[in-house]
Every structure is written in structure tokens, then in C-alpha cells.
Amino acid sequence: MTDTHQSSKKSGMAARDGALRLIHAVLSDKYLLDDAYRHEITEGQLRRLNGNDRAFAKRIAITVLQHLGEIDIVLSRFMDRGMPNKSGPLRNILRIGVAELLYLDNPAHAVVDCAVTHYRKWRKYAGFKGLTNAILRRVSKDGAKELASIDPAKANLPDWLYQSWTKTYGLAATNAMMEQFLKPLIPLDLTLKNGDDSAHWAEKLEAEIMPTGNLRMATHDRVDRLAGFDEGAWWVQDAAATLPVKLLGDVTGQDVLDLCAAPGGKTMQLAAKGANVTALDLSTKRLERVQENLDRVGLTATLVTGDVLTYETGKKWPFILLDAPCSATGTIRRHPELIHQRAAQDITHFASLQAKMLNRIANQVAPGGLIVFCTCSLQSEEGPDLISDFLMHNPDFGIEPIEPDEIAGIAPFIQNDGTMRTRPDQWGEKGGMDGFFAMRLRKCE
């Protein structure tokens, strides 16, 4: 074996070890994947690898999380006695092997060899090497045929979420959303500091100008290496996430209270539109990142650490934006781990919190003022179902319907009641978009 081949095998094995740790962090320790990855490349073993190997580790982890239900069904069909008790890392080692064989099309000999090699550091579980070898060889031979018989949406979504979406959106839309969730590459959306520069930056970045005015890159290098990053010409923000700010209308020179502001995309939008922004968030650490982003793009806002349910602003606001904490089920195409970290009771918790926040801020709005409420959830409990209760408790508010011609590109997302709903399968041929709900609530004069 040549030195080059040995080095390649070693780095490939290290990347798979990293993927194993990422999967464990997400599924067992309930970390968000991005947080687990950030820890690995700063303090963990992935920091010793080059960019390609780090990317390989993350790609394996994402693939496992996207297809976990299908992967586990495939494994169950090749394990007559089921997963052994007290088998330690066996389950996740096998999951990685199946993901590589069936979705990443990596060579079977390399996949099986690396899977077995894991046990060099897991000597307590070395007795599972033979089982690992046998199962993955069977998957390599017959796994694709088994996979073809599995319904991706039913397999990968927990039953409560599958039932929720098929009831709310129908089976066809649920399957279409799942198709977007399972795509290996998610496009990068950019919001320009100066929208008049869209043609210039679209050409420079080889990006597409979307109907909402955002730029979309189908593929991209590291974000901090892209043209315009150092100049602060843009920031990363899903196209759907830009729409709630636009629902506020012209805020030039106006005082705007931006609640639950981190990670700060909407704060930057408001500042770029000339608003006097006060951005409130519960987390000081997350607000530090907002400040870093504001500094990079050369915008200013007043950042305040506080809880929406208790913080007193001491004034009446003409505009309030509440991007409320939620289950974030609309962002699963970017965060596949959420499928495995959410439960039905979480939806009840978030809906209750959102209702409390809405009622809390109602008396902070000036007469004639406007609230825009939004969540990146696909659950009706975290959006449409909140409206009637809020209006019953706050009769001095009414829904201000969204009009199709007031915001570029918004017409397809307007609902019959004048609210907004985006779904991951919309713009499907262009890579989809996050799922968002938003509504405008106007206070009487």
C-alpha cells in the first residue's frame, strides 16, 4: 500500500469517526448539528482535518439524519434478530455504512473496511466486527432493492408529524416537502444590503435573482470566501425569512421593536431599510453574534438582552416584529436533526408561549401601530390557530390583509384570510424555501 493511499485511508477514517461523533451528539445528546459541528472543528478531532475531510464528515452526518427512518428500516430487514443489546456504537456505525452505500455511492469495499476499522478504538465492542461486515455486505448487494419499496415521507417523519402535515397540506404536498428535505444540496440565499445592487452581485456571484429580490446560489464555496462578504454587501438569509420584515411596509426613520431578534437577519433588514431598530433577545451570546454581523455589514441597531414576557420597553411602538420561538419544522431542509428532536408536546409548548408573547406585546403597540407575527413552523397550532384567540382577547386589533401587489414575489404565499404561508416545496425546481407563517395585526387608532 502506497503512502498516499495510506494517508487517504487514514483521513477518510478520521472523517467517518467525526461523522460518528456528530451523529451521537445530535441523536443522543440533542445538540443541533451546526453546534456539534462547530464544536468539532474548534475543539474536537475534526479540527485536525482539511476542509474536504471536514465536509465529508458533515455530509455523512446530514445524510444519516435526512434518511434515518429509511436507513433503520433497511437495517431491520437485514438483521433477523434485531439490534443486539448493549451494542454501543454498532447502530450508528451501521447507519453510516448504509448512508454511504445507498445515498453517497461510496465504494463498498472502502465502506465496509472503514466500518469494521471503527472497532479498533471500541475494543469493548470488537465482537461486532463480524456482524458489521456481514450486514453491510448484504446491504451493498440488496439494499437498493429494499430501499425502493419504502415510502420516504412515512419512513423519515415521526408519525405525529406525518399525520399533522397530511391533514393540513395533503399527501401530495407532504411528499413534495419531503422531496425537498432529502435533497443533498441546499441552495444559499443572500439578502443584499442595497437591493439596487442585485444585478451586479448576481453576475459576480453567479447567482439567480429570485422573485422576492434575494440572490440564490445553487452551489457555493465557504461563505466567508465569497465575493462581497468582507465588504458587507450581503448576509445569508433564506428567501422566506425576508418576507416578514417586508410586511411592515416603509419603516424609514421609524422606531421598530424587533423581538427574539437573533440570529439577526431581520434586524439587518430593518436597519438597511433605514429603521431605528431596537433588537431584543433572551440570549446575550446570540446578540453578540448579531452585533458581529451588524459590524460586518456596516449597520447599526440597539441590542438589548431581555425576555419578551417580562421586559418593559417604557414606550408605545409604531411597529413591532415578533419572530417567535417555535418548533422550526419549516427549516428541516436545512436542519434535518429537528425531525428527531421534536415531539408533539413541543408544539403545544411553543403555541402556548407564542400566545403569551402576542398578548404581552399588544399593549406596547401605539394606536394605529402594526404587529407582524411570524414563525418558521409548518404547524397550524403555531400560526393560524392563534389568530382567533388573540383577536378575542384584543378586540382593538384586526388582521391587515396582505395584498398580492404590495411585495414582489409574495402573491403565491398569500392565504384566503390575508396571512402568509410559505412551504418547502414552493420554488421546488429552484431548491425550495423554508416554511414560514406570518400575519399583520393593526391596532385601532
Q: What letter does residue 287 receive in the DSSP assignment?
A: H
Side chain identity at residue 244, one-letter code: P
DSSP SS3 for 440: strand
Write the Ramachandran bin of 368: left for phi over 0, alpha for psi from -120 to 50, otherwise beta: left
**Best CA proximity match to 219, nearest among 232, 230, 208:** 208
For the chain, the C-alpha Rg in angstroms (whole number) is 24
Cell 433564506, residue located: 238
* Residues linked to residue 428 through DSSP beta bridges, in sequence order: none
Pairwise CA distance, residues 437 & 375, whole Å? 5
Per-residue pLDDT band for 9 (boundaries 50, 70, 90) equals: low
pLDDT at 4 > cutoff 50: no
Per-residue pLDDT band for 96 (boundaries 50, 70, 90) equals: very high
pLDDT tens digit sequence for 107-136? 999 999 999 999 988 888 999 999 999 999
Say which range, 97-106, 166-175, 215-224, 297-306, has the weakest mean pLDDT.
215-224
- pLDDT of 5 reads 45
* pLDDT, mean of residues 38-54: 90
CB distance 101 to 140 below 8 Å: yes
* pLDDT, mean of residues 412-439: 97
- pLDDT of 45 reads 85
* Max Cα-Cα span within the chain: 80
CB distance 132 to 94 below 8 Å: yes
* Residues linked to residue 281 through DSSP beta bridges, in sequence order: 305
Cell 465529508, residue located: 56
- pLDDT of 305 reads 97
* pLDDT, mean of residues 43-55: 90
Residue 318 phi/psi, 5° resolution?
Answer: -75, -25
Sign of CA dihedral 333, 155, 377, 29: negative
pLDDT tens digit sequence for 63-78? 999 999 999 999 999 9
- pLDDT of 8 reads 58
- pLDDT of 2 reads 43
pLDDT tens digit sequence for 184-231? 989 999 999 998 899 999 999 999 999 999 999 998 888 999 999 999
Average pLDDT, the chain: 94
Pairwise CA distance, residues 320 & 365, whole Å? 7
How far lies 438's CA from each of 95, 120, 296, 374, in Å? 38, 52, 28, 4
CB distance 369 to 320 below 8 Å: yes
Q: What letter does residue 332 receive in the DSSP assignment?
A: T
pLDDT tens digit sequence for 249-258? 999 999 999 9
∠ Cα 443 444 445 (to 5°) = 120
Which three cell numbers mark 29?
A: 445528546
Which strand (E) or helix (H) includes residue 318? strand 317-323
DSSP string, 167-199: HHH-HHHHHHHHHHHT-S--PEEEEESSGGGHH
Write the Ramachandran bin of 375: left for phi over 0, alpha for psi from -120 to 50, otherwise beta: beta
CB distance 339 to 433 below 8 Å: no
Per-residue pLDDT band for 331 (boundaries 50, 70, 90) equals: very high
- pLDDT of 33 reads 96
Which three cell numbers mark 192?
A: 443584499
Q: Percentage of the chain with pLDDT > 90?
A: 88
What sections of 298-413 are H helices per DSSP?
Answer: 338-341, 344-362, 387-393
pLDDT at 161 > cutoff 70: yes
pLDDT at 1 > cutoff 50: no
Instruction: Say what angle helices 129-147 and 68-78 make with each other, to 10 degrees.
Output: 110
- pLDDT of 168 reads 97
pLDDT at 273 > cutoff 90: yes
- pLDDT of 71 reads 98
pLDDT tens digit sequence for 169-188? 999 999 999 999 999 989 99
pLDDT at 410 > cutoff 50: yes
Which three cell numbers mark 134?
A: 456481514
pLDDT at 7 > cutoff 60: no
Residues 6+ away with beta carbon under 8 Å from 352: none
Which three cell numbers mark 442?
A: 393593526
Taking the CA of residue 59 as centre, how many other CA atoms within 13 Å lie in the half-sphere pointing to its CB? Answer: 17
Pairwise CA distance, residues 337 & 47, whole Å? 22
Pairwise CA distance, residues 160 & 10, whole Å? 42
